[in-house]
Amino acid sequence: MVGITSIGAYIPRYRLSLEEIGKMWQTRGGPGEKAVAGYDEDAITMAVAASLDCMKRAGNQADVLYLASTTAPYKEKQCAALVASAIDLSKTTHTADFTNTLRAGTAAMKAAIDAVKGGSAENALVVASDCRMGAPKGRFEQLLGDGAAAVMIGEKEPVAIIEGAHSIFSDFTDLWRTEKDKFIQSGEGRFIEEAGYMPTMTEAVTELMAKYSFTPKDFAKAVFYAADNRNHSGLVKALGFDKNQVQDSLFWKIGNTGTAAAMIMLVAALEEASPGDRILFAGYGDGVDVFIFRVTENISRIKGTPLMKDRLAGTVSIDYGKYLLWRDLIPVEASSLPERAEPSLATRWRERKTVRALYGAKCRKCGTPQIHPIGQRARVCVVCQAKDDFDDYKFSDKTGKLFTYAIDQLQPTKNPPGLNGVIDFDGGGRLICELTDYDLASVATGMAVEMTFRKLSQGKGIVNYFWKAKPI
């Protein structure tokens, strides 16, 4: 039976409170906060983190990767391929970007389900990730948060099987961005709700239930996308669901995460689900994709792994100034420090295994894992001088310890001071690299770290991704 075989999510640790936004603009901020991607994160890096979370639980590789996002950094150049190389999928993996609509996440899920059903894929990984921005001082600035979620679609021991699906499209102009828009444009609030969201969602969900002869009572959980909490509770009421049946939108905690929003809710719902539970799941945007999932005994596999509440723990509040800086919303004085070298496309291509999935080499003669600090490939072993006698060795999935470090005021970071360190990997190998998502007060030699795929502080024209260490 085709279904969801694994789930994963990533929510950045940083929070901007609506109160802080309100303070900036002398308006009522209200309760709640939004998740804000770190200065070195974007839709790609969050997609990598969510995908790795999902694959770790799946215990197998994907042969399809669909990336859903409206905020992928490239207009031209496939971002799914970038994510696939960072998470080290094999080159025969079919990759595709789903974009331009908030329904991209569920559209990708539909395509993944069809691919598995049709037999062209065994394990289709769908990852949705977004970092949408509302203009400063506007309603969307308060509403939108950053995050990512991933689901693996397959037939082997699914945690939830798919019982039904239904889609409608609707050429309705509620939210848009053209080539020139950095920020979300929107139609008038009540218009897009009353003429768009409410009737379209109601229609699709009602049709689905009719198609499969279900009523709201048949569902343990309903997982709906909505623009905000008002829409969310309005829809629940209109469809006749009980409040207790409805999955928390998490909007107060992380904001509306765009294409990822419904999938993050689905991940949270599945993590709390019991075998036999039926879940209604609907994504919205230029139409609706709605699915029925039935939870299986395999859901026990998910228990004991980090849950949504764990991912939402350990948050760090930032102030509005930092938000402006991190999102490039304010010009700042240029550094007087010498510029870092421009990334070379040719060098990056040659060393792509290192740059993308953090591959080094393991000497076949002396067994030493090694990775070069500037990404050069291993030709002669740094320990025994054996020449060209190596196996590839992946470091991105290894944990390590911080051997020594420098708290570096000169690091070109938007979250100063920078932290650089010498990482000794468990199992061997050493890398000098940047750290991220650290609490300076608890940085110490011997601190345990893992690797995380991030944007580096520099890079002209291209977005320059590499791995950093982060405290576990």
Partner 1 sequence: MESIKDKVAIVGMGCTRFGERWDMGVEDLLVEAAYEAFQDAGIEPKDIQAAWLGTVFSGISAMTLAPLGLQYIPITRVENMCATGSEALRGAAYAVAAGVCDIALAIGVEKLKDSGQTGVKGPAIVGDNPDGSSAIGSGYSAPASFAYLGTRYFSHYNIDRDEGKRMLAEIAVKNHHNGSLNPKAHFHNTLTVEQVVKAPIVAWPLGLFDCCGVSDGAAAAIVVRADMAKNFRSDPIYIKGMAISAGARQGSMRQDYDYVHIDENVRASQQVYAQAGVKNPRKEISCAEVHDCFTAHELIVYEDLGFSRRGGAREDIFGGTFTLKGELPINTDGGLKCFGHPLGASGLRMMYEMYLQLQGKAGPRQVKNPRLAMTHNLGGNAGAGIGCCVIVGNEK
The residue ranges that bind partner 1 (CB under 8 A) are: 336-344, 346-348, 350-351, 354-355, 368, 370-376, 382-383, 403-411, 417-418, 420-422, 424, 428-430, 432-434, 445-446, 456, 458-459, 464, 466
Nearer to partner 1, 19 or 424 (CB): 424
Q: Is 396 left (phi over 0), alpha (psi -120 to 50) or beta?
A: alpha
152 within 8 A of 55, measured Cβ to Cβ: yes
Residue type at position 90: S
Beta partners for residue 67, in sequence order: 97, 127
Instruction: Give every strand in the sheet of 390-394, ordered side by side.
Output: 369-370, 359-363, 390-394
User: Which residue, 284 or 438, is less far from partner 1 as judged by CB?
Assistant: 438
Q: Residue 173 or 344: which CB sits closer to partner 1? A: 344
3 state SS of 254: helix
Distance CA 213, CA 424 (A): 58
H-helix or E-strand containing 158? Answer: none
Tell me the closest approach of the beta carbon of residue 405 to partner 1, in angstroms.
6
Q: How far is the CB of 40 from partner 1 (least distance, A)?
A: 11
- Give whichever of 249 and 354 is closer to partner 1, judged by the CB atom: 354
Nearer to partner 1 by Cβ, of 278 and 398: the residue is 398
Minimum distance from residue 313 beta carbon to partner 1 (Å):
28
Parallel/antiparallel/unpaired status of strands 359-363 and 33-36: unpaired
Two structure tokens written together for 406 = 């420098």
CB of 198 to partner 1, least distance (A): 48
Find the shortest distance in angstroms from Cβ 348 to partner 1. 5
- For partner 1, the closer CB: 184 or 431: 431
323 or 466: whose CB is closer to partner 1?
466
CB of 365 to partner 1, least distance (A): 15
Q: For residues 114 and 408, which CB has a smaller minimum distance to partner 1 in the complex?
A: 408
CA–CA distance, 7 with 152 (Å, rounded to integer):
6
Nearest distance, CB of residue 217 and partner 1, angstroms: 56
What sign results for the dihedral spanned by CA atoms 25, 30, 31, 34?
negative
Owner of token pair 């893992």: 450
For residues 370 and 33, give the distance between their C-alpha atoms in angstroms, rounded to a whole number. 43
Only one residue has tokens 């570096």, namely 408
Instruction: Tell me if residue 393 falls in helix, strand or coil.
Output: strand
State how far the Cα of 39 lies from the Cα of 326, in Å rounded to an integer.
5
Min dist CB 417 to partner 1, Å, is 8
Give helix 229-239 / helix 198-211 axis angle, nearest 10°: 40
